[in-house]
């Protein structure tokens, strides 16, 4: 079965209804396990107990970036293949991505105060994440302002793709501008810089955040499909 067979909303509703409870349960279990393991780690020799913020902060940032990537891919599919389901999926991902971005910024700020001595510093990654939040907000505002469903979806898709092309450039320019944030410490040549005892809870939390995102995403897509059906039925009755 190809993924495009799922593009039929009826089929999608059937399949997603089966998967959704499992994904949600898996998210709950991994998040719980990650939190327990995260609280059990020994305090870091430099950062003390605040290192535990990492388990909430880093996965949020990862999920926020993944959400933008998925949104851009769904937008491209919606724009090229004209699948209404892809349009719905792209639009449903945006508020989730914005929330995860905001979560990353807030937890980072809470971590930055004890570590760097300031709630906010104008460092490369913080700044590009703030810009990512504005990109999400612009996308949501544009989608909300255009009433026609089809037109709104296509306008949003173009914006998402323009943003996806521009994001690496923004990232690069902001890094060029200044950098204080810690460099890449996990996916690097020569293995991770983080002790394994910290790595396990981090991966569990990352998996939990990702599953949580997918569960919420499915719920939002399903809600939108039901809403559209209800609207169509109301219109049909009115005429």
**Binding site residues, another protein, CB under 8 A:** 131-132, 134-135, 137-138, 141-142, 145-146, 151, 154-155, 158-159, 161-163, 165-166, 169-170, 172-174, 176-177
- Nearer to another protein among residue 133 and residue 205 (C-beta): 133
Tell the smallest beta-carbon distance from residue 94 to another protein (Å).
13
In the chain the first and final C-alpha atoms are separated, in Å, by: 38
Tell the smallest beta-carbon distance from residue 7 to another protein (Å).
20
- Nearer to another protein among residue 162 and residue 199 (C-beta): 162
Tell the smallest beta-carbon distance from residue 82 to another protein (Å).
12
- Nearer to another protein among residue 40 and residue 165 (C-beta): 165
Tell the smallest beta-carbon distance from residue 176 to another protein (Å).
7
Q: State the Cα–Cα distance between residues 76 and 153, nearest whole angstrom.
A: 11
Q: State the Cα–Cα distance between residues 129 and 78, nearest whole angstrom.
A: 26
For residue 60, what are the contacts with CB-CB under 8 A and spacing of at least 6? 100, 101, 103, 104, 107, 209
Neighbouring-strand partners of residue 238 = none
Dihedral, 36, 40, 41, 43 alpha carbons, nearest 10: 130
Q: How many alpha carbons lie under 13 Å from residue 208 in its C-beta half-sphere?
A: 22
């Amino acid at each position: 079965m190809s993924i495009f067979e799922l593009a039929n909303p009826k089929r999608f509703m059937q399949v997603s209804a089966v998967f959704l409870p499992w994904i949600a349960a898996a998210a709950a279990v991994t998040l719980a396990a990650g939190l327990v393991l995260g609280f059990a780690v020994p305090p870091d020799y430099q950062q003390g107990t605040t290192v535990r913020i990492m388990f909430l902060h880093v996965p949020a940032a990862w999920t926020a970036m993944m959400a933008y990537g998925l949104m851009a891919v769904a937008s491209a599919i919606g724009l090229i293949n004209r699948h209404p389901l892809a349009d719905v999926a792209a639009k449903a991902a945006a508020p989730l991505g914005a929330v995860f971005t905001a979560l990353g910024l807030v937890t980072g700020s809470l971590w930055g105060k004890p570590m760097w001595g300031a709630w906010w510093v104008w460092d490369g990654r913080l700044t590009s994440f703030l810009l990512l939040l504005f990109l999400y907000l612009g996308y949501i505002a544009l989608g909300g302002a255009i009433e026609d469903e089809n037109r709104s979806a296509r306008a949003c898709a173009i914006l998402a793709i323009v943003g996806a092309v521009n994001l690496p450039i923004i990232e690069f320019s902001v890094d060029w501008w200044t950098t204080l944030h810690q460099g890449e410490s996990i996916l690097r040549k020569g293995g991770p810089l983080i002790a394994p005892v910290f790595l396990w809870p981090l991966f569990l939390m990352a998996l939990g955040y990702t599953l949580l995102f997918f569960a919420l995403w499915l719920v939002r897509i399903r809600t939108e499909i039901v809403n559209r059906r209800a609207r169509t039925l109301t219109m049909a009755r009115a005429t």
